[in-house]
C-alpha cells in the first residue's frame, strides 16, 4: 500500500467543493478509478502477449500487473517518456 499526499490551493479546494460532496472522497475515487482503468489496459496487453507466446497467465490481477512490469511488457510513463526523449535526441545528433 502506498500513501500519496497532495496539496491544492484554496481556489482548487473551492472548485472541488462545487462538484463533490466530499473532496477527499472525490480525489481518492478519481485516483483509484484511473488506476483501475490502467490496470485493465495492462491486463489486456499482458493476456494477449501471454496467449501469443504460450505463457501461463498468473491467477490474480495483482500478479498479472506485477509480472507485466517485471517482464518489461509495460513500462511506467516516466520510463517511456525518457526513452522517447533519448530516441529523439539520438535522431537529432549529427552522425
Q: Which residues contact 28 (CB under 8 A, 6 or more apart)?
A: none
- For residue range 48-72, list pLDDT tens digits in order: 999 999 999 999 999 999 999 999 9
pTM above 0.75, yes or no: yes
The DSSP call for residue 57 is P
- C-alpha cell of 45? 496487453
- For residue range 72-93, list pLDDT tens digits in order: 999 999 999 999 999 999 988 7
- For residue range 3-60, list pLDDT tens digits in order: 999 999 999 999 999 999 999 999 999 999 999 999 999 999 999 999 999 999 999 9
Percent of the chain exceeding pLDDT 70 equals 99
Max intra-chain CA distance, the chain: 59
Amino acid at each position: 500500500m502506498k500513501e500519496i499526499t497532495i496539496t491544492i490551493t484554496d481556489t482548487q479546494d473551492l472548485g472541488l467543493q462545487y462538484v463533490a460532496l466530499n473532496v477527499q472522497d472525490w480525489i481518492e475515487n478519481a485516483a483509484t478509478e484511473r488506476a483501475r482503468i490502467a490496470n485493465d489496459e495492462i491486463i489486456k496487453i499482458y493476456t494477449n502477449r501471454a496467449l501469443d507466446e504460450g505463457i501461463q497467465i498468473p491467477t490474480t490481477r495483482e500478479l498479472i500487473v506485477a509480472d507485466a512490469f517485471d517482464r518489461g511488457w509495460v513500462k511506467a510513463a516516466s520510463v517511456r517518456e525518457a526513452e522517447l526523449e533519448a530516441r529523439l535526441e539520438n535522431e537529432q545528433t549529427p552522425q
